[in-house]
Chain A
């Protein structure tokens, strides 16, 4: 089955700096890669996703890049703000309707003011 590795497990950045989280996956059939943000005591919130027909996607301060050949994808957050502090999870699936997501282990991001 699919295996998703996520690094780093914790990330501390100064407000205004960039944060990068990387994930690798094992199943070459995977073609849908969402990123979720989870604040303490809440459910995960979808912040951005990418499908394998594109290499990069941006939404304001957030961007995701995908390298299907190397089987890795990354989340980039620019101009970080304290409210970006949370746990971020990457995931992968084969992108079919109702298909299971395989999650990475999560990255705890702390943005220091």
Chain B
């Protein structure tokens, strides 16, 4: 149980285009979903926290107009990287906390590798 999926698993795009990444909790409903970014050989950096039906809360230094987050339902959150540039190339990972049970636990998706040319 507690499976989180991400789509796509990898994407290559041209500089200036936008890319949407989906995060789904497959077998549970999630009150909160989190978006992280991870550079090679580094720890996870939290970008934003989102709750279903509300605006996301962004961490300091993360541009909310560049990284648009929509949490449309209790099982789906999307991250859109707008006007992507090569420096946005990274591994993006989402996580989800269940609505019931261990609500403080975060289950992670498999990640999406974004390469901007």
- Chain A residues within 8 Å of B, Cβ to Cβ: 32, 34, 36, 41-46, 49, 89, 93, 95-101, 103-106
Given A44-B93, A97-B31, A100-B34, also A89-B105 (CB < 8 A): no
Which residues of A have CB within 8 Å of B6?
43
Write the residues of chain B forming the contact surface with A, with a CB cutoff of 8 angstroms: 2, 4, 6, 31-32, 34, 42-44, 46, 49, 51, 93, 97, 103-111, 113
B29 to chain A, nearest CB (A): 12
In the complex where A42-B111, A43-B111, A97-B97 touch, is A104 in contact with B104 (Cβ < 8 A)?
A: no
Q: Is the contact region of chain A dominated by helix, strand, or loop, or is it mixed?
A: loop
Known A43-B93, A44-B93; contact A97-B108, beta-carbon cutoff 8 A? no
Total of A-B residue pairs, C-beta within 8 Å: 56
Contact (Cβ within 8 A) A43 B106: no
20 more contacts with CB within 8 A, not counting A100-B49, A106-B43, are A32-B104, A34-B106, A36-B108, A41-B111, A41-B113, A42-B111, A44-B108, A49-B105, A89-B44, A96-B104, A97-B31, A98-B31, A98-B32, A98-B97, A98-B104, A100-B34, A101-B106, A103-B44, A104-B43, A105-B43
Q: Is the interface of B mostly helix, strand, loop or mixed?
A: strand
- Whether A97 contacts B44 by the Cβ 8 Å rule is no
CB-nearest residue of chain A to B110: A43
